[in-house]
Amino acid sequence: MYITKNHMSRRTVLRGMGVTVALPLLEAMVPAGTATAQTAAAPRTRLAAIEMVHGSAGSTTYGIQQHMFAPAAVGREFDLTPSTLSPLDPFKEHLTIVSNTDVRMAEAFELAEIGGDHFRSSAVFLTQSKPKQTQGSDVFVATSLDQMYAQRFGQDTPIPSMQLCIENVDQAGGCSYGYSCVYTDSISWASATQPLPMVRDPRYVFDQLFGVGATAAERSARRAEDRSILDWVSESVSRLRKDLGAADRARLADYLEDVREIERRIQKVEAYNASGEMRELPEAPIGVPDDFEEHVKLMFDLQVVAFASDITRVFAFKLGRDASNRVFPDSGVRTAFHSASHHQGREDRITQFAAINKYHLSMMPYFLEKLKNTPDGDRSLLDNSLVIYGSPMGDSNVHNHKRCPLFFAGHAGGRLKGGIHIKAADGTPMANPMLTAVHALGMDDLASFGDSTAPLDLNSVTTATD
Protein backbone atom coordinates (compact mmCIF):
# COMPACT_ATOMS: atom_id res chain seq x y z
CA MET A 1 0.00 0.00 0.00
CA TYR A 2 1.12 3.54 -0.72
CA ILE A 3 0.09 6.37 1.56
CA THR A 4 0.61 10.07 0.87
CA LYS A 5 0.93 12.79 3.55
CA ASN A 6 -2.65 12.88 4.71
CA HIS A 7 -4.58 10.73 2.30
CA MET A 8 -4.32 7.46 0.45
CA SER A 9 -3.29 7.35 -3.20
CA ARG A 10 -6.04 6.63 -5.73
CA ARG A 11 -3.71 3.92 -7.02
CA THR A 12 -3.46 2.04 -3.73
CA VAL A 13 -3.57 -1.71 -4.38
CA LEU A 14 -3.57 -4.94 -2.40
CA ARG A 15 -0.96 -7.45 -3.54
CA GLY A 16 -0.47 -11.19 -3.16
CA MET A 17 1.16 -13.93 -5.21
CA GLY A 18 -0.14 -13.46 -8.74
CA VAL A 19 -2.83 -11.11 -7.41
CA THR A 20 -3.30 -7.35 -7.65
CA VAL A 21 -6.56 -6.02 -6.27
CA ALA A 22 -7.18 -2.36 -7.09
CA LEU A 23 -9.49 -0.48 -4.75
CA PRO A 24 -12.63 1.57 -5.34
CA LEU A 25 -12.62 5.29 -4.68
CA LEU A 26 -12.67 5.76 -0.90
CA GLU A 27 -13.05 8.87 1.26
CA ALA A 28 -9.52 8.26 2.51
CA MET A 29 -8.26 8.91 -1.03
CA VAL A 30 -9.54 12.49 -0.95
CA PRO A 31 -7.72 15.17 1.11
CA ALA A 32 -9.82 16.32 4.04
CA GLY A 33 -11.96 19.35 3.28
CA THR A 34 -11.46 19.09 -0.48
CA ALA A 35 -14.19 18.37 -3.02
CA THR A 36 -13.51 15.15 -4.92
CA ALA A 37 -13.85 16.94 -8.26
CA GLN A 38 -10.90 19.18 -7.35
CA THR A 39 -8.47 16.34 -6.67
CA ALA A 40 -6.45 13.84 -8.66
CA ALA A 41 -8.98 11.24 -7.50
CA ALA A 42 -11.79 12.95 -9.43
CA PRO A 43 -13.58 10.28 -11.47
CA ARG A 44 -13.24 10.40 -15.24
CA THR A 45 -16.06 9.26 -17.51
CA ARG A 46 -16.20 5.51 -18.16
CA LEU A 47 -17.15 4.21 -21.59
CA ALA A 48 -18.94 0.96 -22.39
CA ALA A 49 -19.66 0.53 -26.10
CA ILE A 50 -22.00 -2.40 -26.82
CA GLU A 51 -22.85 -3.76 -30.25
CA MET A 52 -25.73 -6.10 -31.07
CA VAL A 53 -25.74 -7.45 -34.60
CA HIS A 54 -28.60 -7.95 -37.10
CA GLY A 55 -30.27 -4.58 -36.58
CA SER A 56 -33.79 -4.36 -35.21
CA ALA A 57 -37.35 -5.36 -35.97
CA GLY A 58 -38.07 -1.69 -35.27
CA SER A 59 -36.16 -0.71 -38.43
CA THR A 60 -38.70 -2.39 -40.72
CA THR A 61 -41.68 -0.53 -42.17
CA TYR A 62 -44.04 -2.53 -39.97
CA GLY A 63 -41.77 -2.13 -36.94
CA ILE A 64 -41.71 1.65 -37.36
CA GLN A 65 -45.50 1.72 -37.52
CA GLN A 66 -45.71 -0.36 -34.34
CA HIS A 67 -42.95 1.62 -32.56
CA MET A 68 -40.98 -1.56 -31.97
CA PHE A 69 -37.80 0.40 -31.24
CA ALA A 70 -38.33 4.16 -31.29
CA PRO A 71 -41.07 5.55 -29.03
CA ALA A 72 -43.97 7.31 -30.73
CA ALA A 73 -43.27 10.61 -28.98
CA VAL A 74 -40.19 12.74 -29.57
CA GLY A 75 -38.76 14.67 -26.64
CA ARG A 76 -39.07 13.92 -22.95
CA GLU A 77 -42.64 12.64 -22.70
CA PHE A 78 -42.17 9.26 -24.36
CA ASP A 79 -43.63 5.85 -23.57
CA LEU A 80 -41.44 2.74 -23.85
CA THR A 81 -44.27 0.27 -23.19
CA PRO A 82 -44.93 -0.89 -26.77
CA SER A 83 -41.26 -1.04 -27.75
CA THR A 84 -38.43 -3.51 -27.39
CA LEU A 85 -36.86 -0.87 -25.12
CA SER A 86 -39.56 -1.42 -22.47
CA PRO A 87 -37.20 -3.33 -20.12
CA LEU A 88 -35.29 -0.04 -19.79
CA ASP A 89 -38.29 1.92 -18.50
CA PRO A 90 -36.89 2.14 -14.91
CA PHE A 91 -33.90 4.00 -16.39
CA LYS A 92 -35.77 6.50 -18.60
CA GLU A 93 -34.07 9.47 -16.95
CA HIS A 94 -30.69 8.00 -17.90
CA LEU A 95 -31.60 7.21 -21.53
CA THR A 96 -30.86 9.22 -24.66
CA ILE A 97 -32.65 7.39 -27.47
CA VAL A 98 -31.60 8.31 -31.00
CA SER A 99 -33.73 7.07 -33.87
CA ASN A 100 -33.68 7.41 -37.66
CA THR A 101 -29.92 7.54 -38.23
CA ASP A 102 -28.15 5.68 -41.03
CA VAL A 103 -24.82 3.85 -41.19
CA ARG A 104 -23.92 4.55 -44.80
CA MET A 105 -20.32 3.34 -44.42
CA ALA A 106 -21.63 -0.22 -43.96
CA GLU A 107 -23.43 -0.15 -47.31
CA ALA A 108 -22.14 -1.61 -50.57
CA PHE A 109 -20.48 1.09 -52.67
CA GLU A 110 -19.43 -1.16 -55.53
CA LEU A 111 -20.87 -4.22 -57.24
CA ALA A 112 -18.32 -6.57 -55.65
CA GLU A 113 -19.41 -5.47 -52.16
CA ILE A 114 -23.07 -6.44 -52.58
CA GLY A 115 -24.06 -9.20 -50.16
CA GLY A 116 -21.15 -8.64 -47.78
CA ASP A 117 -23.06 -6.61 -45.20
CA HIS A 118 -22.72 -9.21 -42.42
CA PHE A 119 -18.98 -9.35 -42.97
CA ARG A 120 -18.13 -5.65 -42.80
CA SER A 121 -20.82 -4.10 -40.53
CA SER A 122 -19.25 -4.70 -37.13
CA ALA A 123 -16.05 -2.93 -38.20
CA VAL A 124 -18.16 0.14 -38.99
CA PHE A 125 -20.08 0.41 -35.70
CA LEU A 126 -17.45 2.27 -33.64
CA THR A 127 -15.46 3.66 -36.57
CA GLN A 128 -18.33 4.89 -38.80
CA SER A 129 -15.83 4.40 -41.63
CA LYS A 130 -15.72 2.24 -44.74
CA PRO A 131 -13.73 -1.04 -44.44
CA LYS A 132 -11.44 -1.97 -47.29
CA GLN A 133 -12.70 -5.09 -49.03
CA THR A 134 -9.91 -7.64 -48.65
CA GLN A 135 -9.38 -11.17 -47.41
CA GLY A 136 -5.69 -10.57 -46.84
CA SER A 137 -3.70 -8.89 -44.10
CA ASP A 138 -4.05 -5.43 -45.66
CA VAL A 139 -7.21 -4.63 -43.68
CA PHE A 140 -8.09 -0.97 -43.32
CA VAL A 141 -10.93 0.95 -41.69
CA ALA A 142 -10.26 3.60 -38.97
CA THR A 143 -9.51 4.03 -35.28
CA SER A 144 -12.64 3.21 -33.29
CA LEU A 145 -14.32 5.57 -30.85
CA ASP A 146 -13.41 3.48 -27.81
CA GLN A 147 -9.74 3.45 -28.77
CA MET A 148 -9.70 7.18 -29.42
CA TYR A 149 -10.85 7.63 -25.84
CA ALA A 150 -8.48 4.99 -24.45
CA GLN A 151 -5.49 6.49 -26.22
CA ARG A 152 -6.21 9.93 -24.80
CA PHE A 153 -7.64 9.22 -21.35
CA GLY A 154 -6.91 5.57 -20.58
CA GLN A 155 -3.13 5.58 -20.44
CA ASP A 156 -2.96 6.34 -16.72
CA THR A 157 -4.98 3.24 -15.80
CA PRO A 158 -3.44 -0.24 -15.42
CA ILE A 159 -5.36 -1.47 -18.48
CA PRO A 160 -6.12 1.23 -21.08
CA SER A 161 -9.07 -0.72 -22.53
CA MET A 162 -10.62 -4.16 -22.73
CA GLN A 163 -12.59 -5.82 -25.52
CA LEU A 164 -15.17 -8.47 -24.68
CA CYS A 165 -17.54 -10.70 -26.64
CA ILE A 166 -20.14 -13.40 -26.06
CA GLU A 167 -19.90 -15.53 -29.18
CA ASN A 168 -16.98 -17.20 -30.87
CA VAL A 169 -15.06 -14.57 -32.88
CA ASP A 170 -11.73 -16.25 -33.52
CA GLN A 171 -12.10 -17.22 -37.15
CA ALA A 172 -8.94 -16.70 -39.15
CA GLY A 173 -8.31 -15.67 -42.74
CA GLY A 174 -11.05 -14.72 -45.17
CA CYS A 175 -14.76 -14.84 -44.57
CA SER A 176 -17.38 -14.44 -47.30
CA TYR A 177 -17.87 -11.85 -50.05
CA GLY A 178 -14.20 -10.93 -50.14
CA TYR A 179 -13.89 -9.70 -46.53
CA SER A 180 -11.34 -10.67 -43.90
CA CYS A 181 -12.86 -12.28 -40.81
CA VAL A 182 -11.31 -9.62 -38.60
CA TYR A 183 -13.97 -7.17 -39.81
CA THR A 184 -16.73 -9.22 -38.23
CA ASP A 185 -14.57 -10.47 -35.34
CA SER A 186 -13.86 -7.08 -33.77
CA ILE A 187 -15.57 -3.74 -33.17
CA SER A 188 -12.44 -2.18 -31.63
CA TRP A 189 -9.60 -0.80 -33.77
CA ALA A 190 -6.43 0.71 -32.29
CA SER A 191 -5.65 2.15 -35.72
CA ALA A 192 -6.96 1.81 -39.24
CA THR A 193 -4.91 -1.36 -39.66
CA GLN A 194 -4.96 -2.83 -36.13
CA PRO A 195 -8.10 -4.65 -34.97
CA LEU A 196 -8.08 -5.65 -31.30
CA PRO A 197 -9.08 -9.18 -30.27
CA MET A 198 -12.30 -9.66 -28.32
CA VAL A 199 -12.17 -11.85 -25.20
CA ARG A 200 -14.93 -14.40 -24.65
CA ASP A 201 -13.77 -16.14 -21.47
CA PRO A 202 -14.76 -14.52 -18.13
CA ARG A 203 -11.88 -16.35 -16.39
CA TYR A 204 -9.36 -14.67 -18.68
CA VAL A 205 -10.95 -11.27 -18.01
CA PHE A 206 -10.96 -11.88 -14.25
CA ASP A 207 -7.29 -12.85 -14.27
CA GLN A 208 -6.40 -9.79 -16.30
CA LEU A 209 -8.25 -7.48 -13.90
CA PHE A 210 -6.87 -9.01 -10.73
CA GLY A 211 -3.49 -10.24 -11.91
CA VAL A 212 -2.11 -6.99 -13.28
CA GLY A 213 1.68 -7.20 -13.16
CA ALA A 214 1.69 -10.90 -12.36
CA THR A 215 3.30 -13.45 -14.62
CA ALA A 216 1.33 -16.23 -16.28
CA ALA A 217 3.17 -18.71 -14.05
CA GLU A 218 2.15 -16.81 -10.91
CA ARG A 219 -1.48 -16.71 -11.98
CA SER A 220 -1.41 -20.41 -12.82
CA ALA A 221 0.16 -21.28 -9.46
CA ARG A 222 -2.39 -19.18 -7.60
CA ARG A 223 -5.31 -20.90 -9.37
CA ALA A 224 -3.78 -24.32 -8.63
CA GLU A 225 -4.02 -23.57 -4.91
CA ASP A 226 -7.82 -23.56 -5.34
CA ARG A 227 -8.19 -20.52 -3.11
CA SER A 228 -9.93 -17.21 -3.57
CA ILE A 229 -7.76 -14.32 -4.72
CA LEU A 230 -8.93 -12.53 -1.57
CA ASP A 231 -7.18 -15.16 0.55
CA TRP A 232 -3.89 -13.99 -0.94
CA VAL A 233 -4.48 -10.40 0.14
CA SER A 234 -6.26 -10.97 3.47
CA GLU A 235 -3.41 -9.57 5.57
CA SER A 236 -3.25 -6.43 3.43
CA VAL A 237 -7.02 -6.02 3.78
CA SER A 238 -6.79 -6.30 7.56
CA ARG A 239 -4.05 -3.66 7.74
CA LEU A 240 -5.91 -1.34 5.43
CA ARG A 241 -9.18 -1.56 7.36
CA LYS A 242 -7.46 -0.23 10.49
CA ASP A 243 -6.79 3.06 8.72
CA LEU A 244 -10.29 3.50 7.27
CA GLY A 245 -13.39 5.15 8.64
CA ALA A 246 -16.69 3.32 8.98
CA ALA A 247 -18.04 4.42 5.60
CA ASP A 248 -14.86 3.35 3.81
CA ARG A 249 -14.82 -0.01 5.58
CA ALA A 250 -18.38 -0.67 4.43
CA ARG A 251 -17.55 0.42 0.88
CA LEU A 252 -14.47 -1.81 0.83
CA ALA A 253 -16.43 -4.78 2.19
CA ASP A 254 -19.13 -4.41 -0.48
CA TYR A 255 -16.54 -4.16 -3.24
CA LEU A 256 -14.55 -7.19 -2.09
CA GLU A 257 -17.74 -9.21 -1.75
CA ASP A 258 -18.64 -8.29 -5.33
CA VAL A 259 -15.22 -9.52 -6.47
CA ARG A 260 -15.57 -12.72 -4.48
CA GLU A 261 -19.07 -13.40 -5.81
CA ILE A 262 -17.88 -13.02 -9.41
CA GLU A 263 -15.02 -15.40 -8.66
CA ARG A 264 -17.42 -17.96 -7.13
CA ARG A 265 -19.63 -17.88 -10.20
CA ILE A 266 -16.69 -18.37 -12.56
CA GLN A 267 -15.46 -21.28 -10.44
CA LYS A 268 -18.92 -22.82 -10.52
CA VAL A 269 -19.05 -22.55 -14.32
CA GLU A 270 -15.58 -24.09 -14.64
CA ALA A 271 -16.47 -26.96 -12.31
CA TYR A 272 -19.58 -27.81 -14.32
CA ASN A 273 -17.82 -27.53 -17.66
CA ALA A 274 -15.05 -29.83 -16.42
CA SER A 275 -17.48 -32.41 -15.01
CA GLY A 276 -18.03 -34.28 -18.25
CA GLU A 277 -21.67 -33.23 -18.48
CA MET A 278 -22.95 -32.56 -22.01
CA ARG A 279 -22.44 -28.90 -22.95
CA GLU A 280 -24.56 -26.73 -25.24
CA LEU A 281 -21.36 -24.99 -26.35
CA PRO A 282 -18.78 -27.79 -26.41
CA GLU A 283 -16.26 -25.68 -28.34
CA ALA A 284 -16.30 -22.82 -25.83
CA PRO A 285 -13.50 -22.25 -23.27
CA ILE A 286 -14.04 -23.86 -19.89
CA GLY A 287 -14.82 -20.51 -18.24
CA VAL A 288 -17.64 -19.67 -20.66
CA PRO A 289 -21.18 -20.42 -19.41
CA ASP A 290 -23.46 -22.19 -21.85
CA ASP A 291 -26.32 -19.94 -20.72
CA PHE A 292 -26.40 -16.62 -22.62
CA GLU A 293 -27.84 -14.59 -19.74
CA GLU A 294 -25.37 -15.95 -17.21
CA HIS A 295 -22.48 -15.19 -19.56
CA VAL A 296 -23.66 -11.63 -20.25
CA LYS A 297 -24.20 -10.88 -16.57
CA LEU A 298 -20.73 -12.13 -15.67
CA MET A 299 -19.22 -9.86 -18.30
CA PHE A 300 -21.28 -6.92 -17.05
CA ASP A 301 -20.21 -7.56 -13.45
CA LEU A 302 -16.57 -7.64 -14.49
CA GLN A 303 -17.02 -4.29 -16.19
CA VAL A 304 -18.60 -2.75 -13.10
CA VAL A 305 -15.82 -3.80 -10.71
CA ALA A 306 -13.21 -2.65 -13.24
CA PHE A 307 -14.89 0.74 -13.53
CA ALA A 308 -15.32 1.03 -9.76
CA SER A 309 -11.62 0.43 -9.12
CA ASP A 310 -10.48 2.42 -12.18
CA ILE A 311 -8.53 -0.56 -13.51
CA THR A 312 -9.81 0.51 -16.90
CA ARG A 313 -12.24 3.16 -18.13
CA VAL A 314 -13.01 1.64 -21.51
CA PHE A 315 -14.85 -1.50 -22.60
CA ALA A 316 -16.02 -2.55 -26.03
CA PHE A 317 -18.54 -5.39 -25.78
CA LYS A 318 -19.80 -7.45 -28.71
CA LEU A 319 -23.03 -9.21 -27.73
CA GLY A 320 -23.41 -11.27 -30.89
CA ARG A 321 -21.80 -12.35 -34.12
CA ASP A 322 -23.18 -11.65 -37.58
CA ALA A 323 -24.86 -14.64 -39.21
CA SER A 324 -25.06 -16.41 -35.83
CA ASN A 325 -27.73 -19.08 -35.62
CA ARG A 326 -27.74 -19.24 -31.85
CA VAL A 327 -31.18 -19.89 -30.39
CA PHE A 328 -32.50 -17.81 -27.47
CA PRO A 329 -35.35 -19.91 -26.01
CA ASP A 330 -35.82 -17.52 -23.07
CA SER A 331 -37.06 -14.96 -25.60
CA GLY A 332 -40.05 -17.20 -26.28
CA VAL A 333 -38.82 -17.77 -29.85
CA ARG A 334 -37.15 -21.00 -30.94
CA THR A 335 -36.12 -19.80 -34.38
CA ALA A 336 -32.36 -19.31 -34.74
CA PHE A 337 -31.22 -15.67 -34.55
CA HIS A 338 -29.97 -15.20 -38.11
CA SER A 339 -32.93 -17.05 -39.56
CA ALA A 340 -35.33 -14.97 -37.46
CA SER A 341 -33.74 -11.77 -38.73
CA HIS A 342 -34.67 -12.81 -42.29
CA HIS A 343 -38.38 -12.47 -41.63
CA GLN A 344 -39.35 -11.87 -45.29
CA GLY A 345 -41.32 -8.82 -44.22
CA ARG A 346 -44.07 -10.94 -42.65
CA GLU A 347 -45.67 -9.20 -39.70
CA ASP A 348 -45.84 -12.34 -37.57
CA ARG A 349 -42.15 -13.08 -38.12
CA ILE A 350 -41.12 -9.45 -37.54
CA THR A 351 -42.97 -9.69 -34.22
CA GLN A 352 -41.00 -12.82 -33.37
CA PHE A 353 -37.74 -11.07 -34.23
CA ALA A 354 -38.81 -8.16 -31.99
CA ALA A 355 -39.18 -10.64 -29.13
CA ILE A 356 -35.53 -11.66 -29.59
CA ASN A 357 -34.49 -7.99 -29.73
CA LYS A 358 -36.39 -7.36 -26.50
CA TYR A 359 -34.73 -10.33 -24.84
CA HIS A 360 -31.28 -9.00 -25.72
CA LEU A 361 -32.23 -5.56 -24.39
CA SER A 362 -33.53 -7.15 -21.19
CA MET A 363 -29.89 -7.79 -20.25
CA MET A 364 -29.19 -4.07 -20.01
CA PRO A 365 -31.13 -3.16 -16.83
CA TYR A 366 -28.89 -5.54 -14.86
CA PHE A 367 -25.82 -3.58 -15.97
CA LEU A 368 -27.40 -0.16 -15.50
CA GLU A 369 -28.68 -1.05 -12.04
CA LYS A 370 -25.19 -2.18 -10.98
CA LEU A 371 -23.70 1.07 -12.27
CA LYS A 372 -26.41 3.13 -10.58
CA ASN A 373 -25.86 1.43 -7.21
CA THR A 374 -22.08 1.82 -7.28
CA PRO A 375 -20.80 5.07 -5.71
CA ASP A 376 -18.19 6.99 -7.67
CA GLY A 377 -17.07 10.10 -5.84
CA ASP A 378 -20.03 12.43 -5.37
CA ARG A 379 -22.09 10.56 -7.97
CA SER A 380 -22.77 7.02 -9.14
CA LEU A 381 -20.94 5.07 -11.80
CA LEU A 382 -23.98 5.44 -14.05
CA ASP A 383 -23.81 9.22 -13.69
CA ASN A 384 -20.13 9.08 -14.60
CA SER A 385 -20.50 6.64 -17.49
CA LEU A 386 -21.43 6.75 -21.14
CA VAL A 387 -22.97 3.49 -22.33
CA ILE A 388 -23.49 3.14 -26.08
CA TYR A 389 -25.82 0.42 -27.37
CA GLY A 390 -26.65 -0.04 -31.01
CA SER A 391 -26.29 -1.86 -34.28
CA PRO A 392 -24.74 -0.85 -37.61
CA MET A 393 -27.55 -2.65 -39.44
CA GLY A 394 -31.18 -1.60 -39.79
CA ASP A 395 -33.59 -4.03 -41.42
CA SER A 396 -31.55 -7.22 -41.51
CA ASN A 397 -34.02 -8.94 -43.83
CA VAL A 398 -32.80 -6.75 -46.69
CA HIS A 399 -29.36 -6.05 -45.19
CA ASN A 400 -29.89 -2.30 -45.15
CA HIS A 401 -28.27 0.21 -42.81
CA LYS A 402 -31.05 2.76 -42.45
CA ARG A 403 -32.95 3.73 -39.29
CA CYS A 404 -30.43 1.76 -37.23
CA PRO A 405 -31.09 1.26 -33.49
CA LEU A 406 -29.03 3.42 -31.12
CA PHE A 407 -29.28 4.70 -27.57
CA PHE A 408 -26.98 6.10 -24.93
CA ALA A 409 -27.30 5.49 -21.18
CA GLY A 410 -25.70 7.38 -18.31
CA HIS A 411 -24.94 11.06 -17.92
CA ALA A 412 -21.29 11.06 -19.07
CA GLY A 413 -20.20 13.00 -15.99
CA GLY A 414 -22.94 15.58 -16.54
CA ARG A 415 -22.52 16.08 -20.30
CA LEU A 416 -25.75 14.23 -21.19
CA LYS A 417 -29.04 15.11 -19.51
CA GLY A 418 -30.82 11.89 -20.49
CA GLY A 419 -34.55 11.24 -20.43
CA ILE A 420 -35.05 12.14 -24.10
CA HIS A 421 -35.90 10.64 -27.49
CA ILE A 422 -34.22 12.34 -30.43
CA LYS A 423 -35.59 11.58 -33.90
CA ALA A 424 -32.97 12.66 -36.41
CA ALA A 425 -33.80 14.13 -39.79
CA ASP A 426 -33.94 11.62 -42.64
CA GLY A 427 -30.50 10.75 -43.93
CA THR A 428 -28.64 11.74 -40.75
CA PRO A 429 -25.47 9.66 -40.32
CA MET A 430 -25.15 7.70 -37.08
CA ALA A 431 -21.70 9.30 -37.01
CA ASN A 432 -23.37 12.60 -36.01
CA PRO A 433 -24.58 11.40 -32.56
CA MET A 434 -21.34 9.42 -32.26
CA LEU A 435 -19.43 12.70 -32.76
CA THR A 436 -21.50 14.24 -29.97
CA ALA A 437 -20.58 11.24 -27.81
CA VAL A 438 -16.90 11.85 -28.60
CA HIS A 439 -17.33 15.43 -27.37
CA ALA A 440 -19.18 14.25 -24.24
CA LEU A 441 -16.15 12.09 -23.47
CA GLY A 442 -13.97 15.20 -23.38
CA MET A 443 -12.58 15.18 -26.91
CA ASP A 444 -14.20 18.48 -27.88
CA ASP A 445 -11.37 19.36 -30.24
CA LEU A 446 -12.39 16.71 -32.80
CA ALA A 447 -14.33 18.37 -35.61
CA SER A 448 -15.50 15.17 -37.28
CA PHE A 449 -15.87 11.44 -36.81
CA GLY A 450 -16.31 8.92 -39.60
CA ASP A 451 -18.77 10.32 -42.14
CA SER A 452 -20.28 12.84 -39.72
CA THR A 453 -21.67 16.09 -41.09
CA ALA A 454 -22.21 17.86 -37.74
CA PRO A 455 -22.74 17.00 -34.07
CA LEU A 456 -26.32 16.04 -33.20
CA ASP A 457 -27.67 17.84 -30.14
CA LEU A 458 -28.46 15.08 -27.64
CA ASN A 459 -29.86 17.33 -24.93
CA SER A 460 -32.74 18.94 -26.85
CA VAL A 461 -35.13 18.18 -29.70
CA THR A 462 -34.47 21.33 -31.69
CA THR A 463 -32.65 19.39 -34.42
CA ALA A 464 -35.19 16.58 -34.59
CA THR A 465 -38.10 16.12 -36.98
CA ASP A 466 -41.49 14.60 -36.45
Q: How far, in whole angstroms, is CA 435 from its chain's centroid?
A: 18
pLDDT in tens, 366-391: 999 999 999 999 999 999 999 999 99
Beta bridge partners of 128: none
| Tens-digit pLDDT profile for residues 80-127 | 999 999 999 999 999 999 999 999 999 999 999 999 999 999 999 999
Rg (CA), the chain: 22
Average pLDDT of the chain is 92
Lowest mean pLDDT among 144-153, 160-169, 204-213, 251-260: 204-213
pLDDT of residue 373: 97
**For residue 296, is pLDDT > 80?**
yes
- Cα–Cα separations (whole angstroms), residue 89 to 249, 300, 368, 374, 409: 34, 19, 11, 20, 12
Q: For residue range 416-425, list pLDDT tens digits in order.
A: 999 999 999 9
- Tens of pLDDT along 164-223? 999 987 666 678 899 999 999 999 999 999 999 999 999 999 999 998 656 677 766 766
CB 433 within 8 A of CB 98: yes
pLDDT computed for residue 343 by the predictor: 97
Least confident of 200-214, 242-256, 302-316, 348-362: 200-214
Q: What is the largest CA-CA distance in the chain?
A: 69
Domains present along the chain, CATH in parentheses: 43-200+288-440 (3.40.720)
Measured distance CA(52)–CA(309) in Å, rounded: 27
HEC-encoded secondary structure of the chain: CCECCCCECCCCEEEECCEEEECCCCHHHCCCCCCHHHCCCCCCCEEEEEECCCECHHHCHHHHHCCCCCCCCCECCCCCCCCCCHHHHHHHHHEEEEEEEECHHHCCCCHHHCCCHHHCHHHHHCCCCCCCCCCCCCCCCCCCHHHHHHHHHCCCCCCCCEEEECCCCCCCCECCCCCECHHHHCCCEEECCEECCCECCHHHHHHHHHCCCCCHHHHHHHHHCCCCHHHHCHHHHHHHHHCCCHHHHHHHHHHHHHHHHHHHHHHHHHHHHCCCCCCCCCCCCCCCCCCHHHHHHHHHHHHHHHHHCCCCCEEEEECCCCCCCCCCHHHCCCCCHHHHHCCCCCHHHHHHHHHHHHHHHCCHHHHHHHHHCCEECCEECCCCEEEEEECCCCECCCCCCCCEEEEEECCHHHCCCCCEEEEEEEEEECHHHHHHHHHHCCCCCCCCCCCCCCCCCCCCCCCCCC
CB 458 within 8 A of CB 416: yes
Calculate the CA 156 to chain-centre distance. Answer: 21
Whether 453 shows a pLDDT value over 50: the answer reads yes
List 22's β-bridge partners, or say none.
13
Of the pLDDT bands very low, low, confident and very high (cuts 50, 70, 90), residue 1 is very low
Residues 6 or more apart whose Cβ sits within 8 Å of residue 34: none
CA–CA separation, 343 vs 61, rounded Å? 12
